[in-house]
Amino acid sequence: MTKIPIETIAEDMFQLVTEYAGKKNLKAGDLTKAMIAKHGEEACSKDDCKKAIRILMDSGRCVYSYFGGSYIQLPPKEET
């Protein structure tokens, strides 16, 4: 089984966060479990998921928020 590129995992995570925005707060562990379930443990490791989350954070596409725990969310919309 081939490894999934980190960028692909990051994109899949972003889609999941977007899908659940405003409905459910997702933790890093939730995203990791979802990606491993989707791609399989051989193709997507926990370490790969950590790197993918780092890409999302560094690019500003997602942010950490804290409500009694760390959640990954879309950044707040800028008021114009």
Q: What is the pLDDT of residue 28?
A: 96
Quickly state the pLDDT bin for 68 (edges 50, 70, 90): confident
Q: What is the pLDDT of residue 25?
A: 93
Most distant CA atoms of the chain, gap in Å: 47
Q: What is the pLDDT of residue 13?
A: 97
Nearest CA among 13, 64, 6 for reference residue 35:
13
pLDDT digits (tens, 9 = 90+) for 20-63: 999 999 999 999 999 999 999 999 999 999 999 999 999 999 99
Do residues 48 and 36 make contact, with C-beta atoms less than 8 angstroms apart?
no
How many helices (H) and strands (E) are present in the chain, helices listed first? Answer: 3, 2
Q: What is the pLDDT of residue 80?
A: 60
- In order of start, what are the domains of the chain with their CATH numbers? 6-73 (1.10.10.10)
